[in-house]
Amino acid sequence: MTAPHAFTGAPARTSPQAAAPRGFSLFKPMNPPITDWRGLRVWLVGASSGIGEATASALHALGAQVLVSARSKEALERFVLNHPAAQAWPLDVTDAAAVSATARDILAQGPLDLVVYCAGHYREMRATEMDMADLKRHMDINYLGALHVLDGVVPAMSARGRGHISLISSVAGFRGLPKSLAYGPTKAALTNLAENLYLDLQPLGVGVSVVHPGFVQTPLTAQNDFTMPALITPPQAAQAMIGDWARGVFEVHYPKRFTRWMKLMRLLPYRVYFPAVRRATGL
């Protein structure tokens, strides 16, 4: 069982937004828009660096009560030092029992208004150089870890009929890509998971969104040995997500000058797609 680094003791103020929209509409938000973050309790899992850390920092600046989790206790303590009233909950998402205990302790302090799953693992891999241990590690962190967190928070959020769950997937999950044998399938699974969560939870009043980043300057993408098109910074990624949560969308994707092309590629027939991606990547 873990303990928070800091706790204000103030009760969480629930979102002022209306209940989740029901029924079909081309114009209504798919989720309750979140426009006022003051007092909202936000748990970001995988917040020691990159997108998770930047999003936690941005939401803290907007007045949210931020709880950050990651394996690195030192990184979380640095975050709390720079963000007064934030809480650090060190956590390994592959440890189901630890995730369950942490979720239980966090919920004992008050309800959660947003849960963001940012934890991720990436190593390039091709079928000619398969590494079974690393394949499993991708699955354990990128997908099963999300299930552990969901198992800990969904019952309370659905019973309350409020809150929002956001899963950080990737455009790498849209279709097969070179060197993405381990990473891509886990992100495809995460996207499918978010779609199923939306179908089940949106009628209960719980918002769900999936995030499809393009290339973001993080410790994971620092491994890439090629020029990454439309590369953006983590703070830019955080602002894109916050902006789309305010619009109540289901799918968040950025930067759009890149992700729109990836979405178009997803529509190509295989006979066209495979040669096109080989030409584009040179692989």
* Segment 1-14, tens digit of pLDDT: 444 433 233 333 43
Q: What is the pTM of this model?
A: 0.87
- In the set 117, 122, 143, 183, the catalytic residue is 183
71-81: burial string, b at 16+ Cβ within 10 Å, e else: beeebbeebbe
The residue length of the chain stands at 283
Q: Which tokens in the block code for residue 79?
A: 């975050």
Predicted pLDDT at 27: 80
Give the mean model confidence (pLDDT) for residues 136-164.
Answer: 98
* Segment 54-101, tens digit of pLDDT: 999 999 999 999 999 999 999 999 999 999 999 999 999 999 999 999
Question: What's the Cα-to-Cα distance from 39 to each of 9, 36, 66, 190, rounded to whole Å?
Answer: 12, 9, 9, 29
* Segment 32-49, tens digit of pLDDT: 999 999 999 999 999 999
Amino acid identity, residue 122? Y
Indicate the SS3 state at residue 34.
coil
User: Any catalytic annotation for residue 273?
Assistant: no
Give CA–CA dist 264/17, Å, rounded.
33
Give CA–CA dist 58/60, Å, rounded.
5
Decide if 163 contacts 115 (C-beta within 8 A): yes
Give CA–CA dist 143/125, Å, rounded.
17
Q: Which tokens in the block code for residue 226?
A: 């090629």
- The structural domains of the chain, with segments of one domain joined by +, span 41-281
Model confidence band, residue 231 (pLDDT cutoffs 50, 70, 90): confident
Model confidence band, residue 221 (pLDDT cutoffs 50, 70, 90): low
Give CA–CA dist 22/8, Å, rounded.
35
- Nearest to 238, CA basis, from 98, 13, 37, 80: 37
Q: Which fold has domain 41-281?
A: Rossmann fold (3.40.50)
